[in-house]
Structure 1
Amino acid sequence: MKAFFISFGCKVNQYETESIRADFLSRGYEVTENPENADVIVINSCTVTSSGDGKSLYFLRKARKLNKDAVIVLTGCMPQASPSISEKIPEADIVTGTKQRGKIPDLVKEFIENRQQIVSIGKYCADDKFEEIIPGDFSGKTRAFVKIQDGCNQFCSYCIIPYARGRCRSKPMEMLKKEISELARNGHKEIVLVGINLAFYGKEYGLRLIDAVEECSRIEGVERIRLGSLEPEMISNEDLLRLSYIPQFCPQFHLSLQSGCDRTLQAMHRHYNTAEYLTLVQKIRNIFPECSITTDIMVGFPGETDEDFEESLEFTEKIGFAKIHVFQYSPRNGTRAAERPQISKSVKHERADRMKALAGKLQKEYLKKQVGKTVPVLFERESSPEFHQGYAPDYTLIKIPAKKCEKSLRRMIFYVKIKKSEKDCCIGKIVQ
C-alpha cells in the first residue's frame, strides 16, 4: 500500500509528519509523492491562523476529489483545537489530533476493516509527559529538525495553541541525544532544535534550552546547531554567553515580537515590552556581531489604533530585522481577543502591505551588508541547474553559479565570498 503525507504550518508539524511517515514505512507501506495514486493520505493540519485552517481544508477537499478511494486522515492542531467542527468534515475518514500519533496506522487498518468514520481526539492533562514517537530520518533533507519541546503555558490572548498542544513538556535528555546521534550518523550536519515554546525546554527537569544545545554540540558529526522560534523573555545573559562558546551554534535568533507597540503587547498578554526586547537584541548583537535577528509581526490586532500601528512600524525599523514574517490577526474561537471588537479586513490588509514593504526594505539592507564577507555555507538541493545554493550560519541564502552537469554540493560545507546581494539572497564564489 502507498501513503502520501503533507504538512502545514510550523517546523514542529514538519517533524511530526516525518515521524508518522517513518511509522508507516516501518509497517511496510511505500511513500508516494502523488496523492492521486495513494491508498492513504495523511494531512497534518495547522490552526495558528484561519488561513492555516483554510489551507488544510482546501487540500483535504482537493485530495478527496482527486482520489475518491483513498483513506484520508486529518490530524494535527486543527482537530485538537476544534474537535466539534473537525469531526463533521465528511471528506475525512479518520480525524485525530496532536496526541497518540503512533496510533494512526492502526486507525487506518481499523477503518479499512469497518468503513466507518473514526474520530479519535485525546484530551490533554496537566501532568502529561513528552510523547515518545518514532523519529523521522529526514532522508532527502540536508537539515534535520528535532522536536525537543511541546505545549505552551503562556495563553496569549489571540492564540489557540495552548488548547491544541497542552502544557509545556520536554524531551528527556537521553532520548534527545540518541535521536541526534542517529541523525548525525545518517549524514545530517545541521540539527535544528524546535518546539512549540522552545525557550521553555527543560523546565520540569531543572534544565534550560542551553543545556540541550550543549549536549547536541558534544555529538560526533554535528557541525551546526540552529534554534527555532524563541520567546524573548526566556533568554538570559548566561544563556547567551554559554551559546557563544559553542562553535557549532548558528547565530540566527528568531525572536517573536508580534507588535512593536507596548499597548498592543499588553493587550496580547505578551510577557515583555519593547524596551526589554530592544535591550535583548542589543545584548545579542554585542555577543554575536555576525548574527541575524528575525521575527514574526502581527497587524490588525483588536484595538490596534493607527497610532499603535505607526509605533509598531517605527520600532520594527529601529530593530532592523534581517527577515520578518508578517501576518494579519485572525480571530480564534475560545480566545479572549476573539471576543473584542474587530478591525476591518481592509484596514488589516492595508497595514499588512505597509509592514511587508518595510520588511522587504530591511531584508534588502541586511543582505547588502553581507557583501564582501566570507562565510561557511552548507549546501542543499539545487533549486535550478544554474546555481548551487545553501545557507550561511545566520541563515542568509547563498547561491553560487553552477557549471553545466557539475555534480551536486549537497550536504557539503564550503567557504563562500559574497560578491553581491539580490532581493532575497546573496551571490558568491567558493574560496579556499
Structure 2
Amino acid sequence: MRVHFTTLGCKVNQYETQILSQLFSQSGFDVSDSPEGADIFVVNSCTVTATGDKKTRQSLRRMKREHPGALVALTGCFPQAFPEEAAKITEADVITGSYNRKGLLPAIQKALITGERVIAITPHAKGEAFEPMEAGAFLDRTRAFVKIEDGCDRYCSYCIIPTARGPIRSKPLEELRRELVALAKRGYQEAVLVGINLSSYGRDLGLRLIDAVELACSVDGIRRVRLGSLEPELLTGEDIERMSALPKFCPQFHLSLQSGCDATLQRMNRHYDRAEYRRIVDDLRAHFPGCAITTDVMVGFPGETEEEFAQSLQFVSDIAFAKAHVFAYSVRPGTRAASLPGQVSPTDKEARSARMIAAAGATRRAFLDRQRGLIEEVLFETGRDGVYEGYTKNYTPVRVKSPLPLQGAVRLTEIGDNDGDVCEGVLLEERLTP
C-alpha cells in the first residue's frame, strides 16, 4: 500500500516525519512524495497557533474529499494538546499524538484490518524517557536534522507547546553518536541539532547542550555542526567559549527574541530582559566575529502599546539581526495570553508587522552587504541548469553559476552582491582560472 505524508510546523516535526517514513517503509509500505495513488494519508500536525490547527483541518478535509476511499490519519501536536477537539474531526480515520510516534503504524494497521476508527493518544507522563529514533535519510542529501531533545517547561504565556510536547527529555550521547556516524557514512556533511527546547538538552541526563555539540563535532565525516532555535538565557558564557574552540561548529545562532520591550517580555513570561539578551549577543560576537544572529519577533501581543512596539522596533534595529522572522500574535486557546486584556486590533497588527518586517529587512541587507568580498566555504545543497545554491558556515545563502557538478560539494567561494536575500558568488577556483 502507498502512504503519503504531509508535515506542518517545525524542523522537529520534519525529523519525526522522516522517522515515520522509515518505519512504514521498513514494514512494507510504499512511501510516496506524491499524493497521487496513495492509499493512506498522514498529516503530522502543528499546534503552535490556531492558524496551524486550521491548516490541519483543511488538509484532512481536502484529502478525504479528493481521495474518498483512502485512509486518513492525524498525528502530532494538535491531537496531543487537544484530544477532544481532534476526535471531532470525522475526516480522520486514525488519530495519534506527538508522544509514542511509533504507535501510529499499529494504529493504522488496526484500522485497515477492522475498518473501524482508531484513536490512540498516549498521554505524557512525568519522568517519561526520550523516544528512541534515528533518521536514516533525508530529501536533502547534504544536511541532516537530528532531534536530540523533546519537551518544554518554559510556559510562555502565549504557548501551548508544553502541553503538546510534555516534559524535557534528551537523547543519550551514545545514541546520538550512533546516529551521526550512520549519517556520515551515508554522505551527510552537515548535522543540525534540533529540539523543542534545544537549550534544555541534557537536564534529565546530567548533561548540557555543549556536551552534544562537542560529541557531534568529534564524528568523522561530519564537516559542520549547526544548532536549531535557542532560548537565549540558557546559553552560558562557558558554553559559548567551549563552542568557539570547535572548528566544525557553525557560527549561526537563532536566539528567540519575541519582543524587544521588557514590559512585553514580562507579560509573555519570557525569562530574560533586553539587557541580558544584548549581553549574550555581545558575547557571541566577541567569540565568533562575523557570526549570524537570527531570531523570531512577535508583534501585537496583548497589551502592546505603540510605545512598547517602538521599543521593540528600535531593539531589533540596534541588535542588527542577520535575519528575523516577523509574525503577528494570534490567540491560542488554552494559553494564559488568550484571556489577557488589551488584545491588539488586526489593523494595528498588520501595520506593526509591516514596519517590523521593513526594519528586519534593512538589517538583513546590511548583514549580507558585510559578506561582500569574503571568501568562504559554501556547502551547495540544490542545483538546476548550472545554477547552485548553498550556505556558508554562518548561514549566508550563496548562489553561483558553474558548469561543475556542485550539489553536495563544499567549495571556496568569493561572495559578491546580493538582492537582499541571496548573495551572488563565484567559485574561487574559477576566479583564479586564466
The TM-score normalised by the length of structure 2 is: 0.96
Match of 1:418 among 415, 420, 424: 415
1:402 CA displacement: 3.2
After the TM superposition, which parts of structure 1 deviate over 4 Å for at least 4 consecutive aligned residues?
none
Q: What secondary structure sits across from 1:415 in the alignment?
A: strand
Provide the residue aligned with 1:57 in structure 2: 57
Give 1:323's aligned amino acid. Answer: K
> Where does the alignment leave 5 or more consecutive residues of structure 2 unmatched?
430-434
Provide the residue aligned with 2:124 in structure 1: 124
Give 1:380's aligned amino acid. Answer: E
Provide the residue aligned with 2:346 in structure 1: 345
Provide the residue aligned with 2:289 in structure 1: 289
Provide the residue aligned with 1:430 in structure 2: 427
1:420 CA displacement: 1.2
Contact 2:391/2:398 (8 A) holds in 1? yes
Q: What secondary structure sits across from 1:37 in the alignment?
A: coil
1:199 CA displacement: 0.5
1:141 CA displacement: 3.1
Give 1:318's aligned amino acid. Answer: D
Taking the aligned partners of 2:3 and 2:181, their CA distance within structure 1 comes to 28
Provide the residue aligned with 2:372 in structure 1: 371
Provide the residue aligned with 2:77 in structure 1: 77
Provide the residue aligned with 1:391 in structure 2: 391
Taking the aligned partners of 2:364 and 2:271, their CA distance within structure 1 comes to 27
1:50-104 C-alpha deviation (Å, 9 max, x unpaired)? 2222222222222222211111111111111111111111111111110111121
1:284 CA displacement: 0.5
Taking the aligned partners of 1:26 and 1:130, their CA distance within structure 2 comes to 22
Provide the residue aligned with 1:34 in structure 2: 34
Q: Write the mapping of 1:113-192 to structure 2, written as runs, cut at 5 A.
A: 113-192=113-192
Provide the residue aligned with 2:93 in structure 1: 93
Taking the aligned partners of 1:139 and 1:346, their CA distance within structure 2 comes to 40
Taking the aligned partners of 2:402 and 2:41, their CA distance within structure 1 comes to 37
1:28-49 C-alpha deviation (Å, 9 max, x unpaired)? 1112122131111111111111
Contact 2:136/2:182 (8 A) holds in 1? no
Contact 1:15/1:136 (8 A) holds in 2? no
1:185-226 C-alpha deviation (Å, 9 max, x unpaired)? 100000000000001101122211010011111111010000
Taking the aligned partners of 1:68 and 1:142, their CA distance within structure 2 comes to 37
* Root-mean-square deviation over aligned CA pairs: 1.2
Taking the aligned partners of 1:242 and 1:70, their CA distance within structure 2 comes to 52
Taking the aligned partners of 1:87 and 1:157, their CA distance within structure 2 comes to 26
Go from structure 1 to structure 2 and tell me whether the alpha carbon gap of 1:252 and 1:140 turns closer, same or farther (over 3 Å shift): closer
Identity %: 47
Q: What secondary structure sits across from 1:303 in the alignment?
A: coil
Provide the residue aligned with 1:362 in structure 2: 363
1:370-409 C-alpha deviation (Å, 9 max, x unpaired)? 1100010001122x42511111111111000134xx53x1
Taking the aligned partners of 1:213 and 1:106, their CA distance within structure 2 comes to 35
1:260-304 C-alpha deviation (Å, 9 max, x unpaired)? 000000010000000000011011001100200000001111111
Taking the aligned partners of 1:236 and 1:373, their CA distance within structure 2 comes to 30
1:222-256 C-alpha deviation (Å, 9 max, x unpaired)? 10000000001101111011101111100000000
1:410 CA displacement: 1.5
Contact 1:35/1:67 (8 A) holds in 2? no
Go from structure 1 to structure 2 and tell me whether the alpha carbon gap of 1:103 and 1:136 turns closer, same or farther (over 3 Å shift): farther
Contact 2:377/2:411 (8 A) holds in 1? yes
Taking the aligned partners of 1:301 and 1:36, their CA distance within structure 2 comes to 41
Provide the residue aligned with 2:112 in structure 1: 112
Provide the residue aligned with 1:207 in structure 2: 207
1:120 CA displacement: 1.1
Contact 1:36/1:67 (8 A) holds in 2? no
Contact 2:201/2:208 (8 A) holds in 1? yes
Taking the aligned partners of 1:326 and 1:140, their CA distance within structure 2 comes to 26
> Where does the alignment leave 5 or more consecutive residues of structure 1 unmatched?
none
Contact 1:35/1:66 (8 A) holds in 2? no
Give 1:425's aligned amino acid. Answer: V
Give 1:21's aligned amino acid. Answer: S
Taking the aligned partners of 1:354 and 1:62, their CA distance within structure 2 comes to 35
Provide the residue aligned with 2:8 in structure 1: 8
Provide the residue aligned with 2:325 in structure 1: 325
The TM-score normalised by the length of structure 1 is: 0.97
Taking the aligned partners of 1:35 and 1:250, their CA distance within structure 2 comes to 36
1:134 CA displacement: 4.7
1:137 CA displacement: 2.0
Moved more, 47-56 or 415-424: 47-56
Q: What secondary structure sits across from 1:356 in the alignment?
A: helix
Moved more, 390-399 or 128-137: 128-137
1:126 CA displacement: 1.4
1:139 CA displacement: 4.8
Q: What secondary structure sits across from 1:35 in the alignment?
A: coil
Moved more, 270-279 or 362-371: 362-371
1:140 CA displacement: 4.4
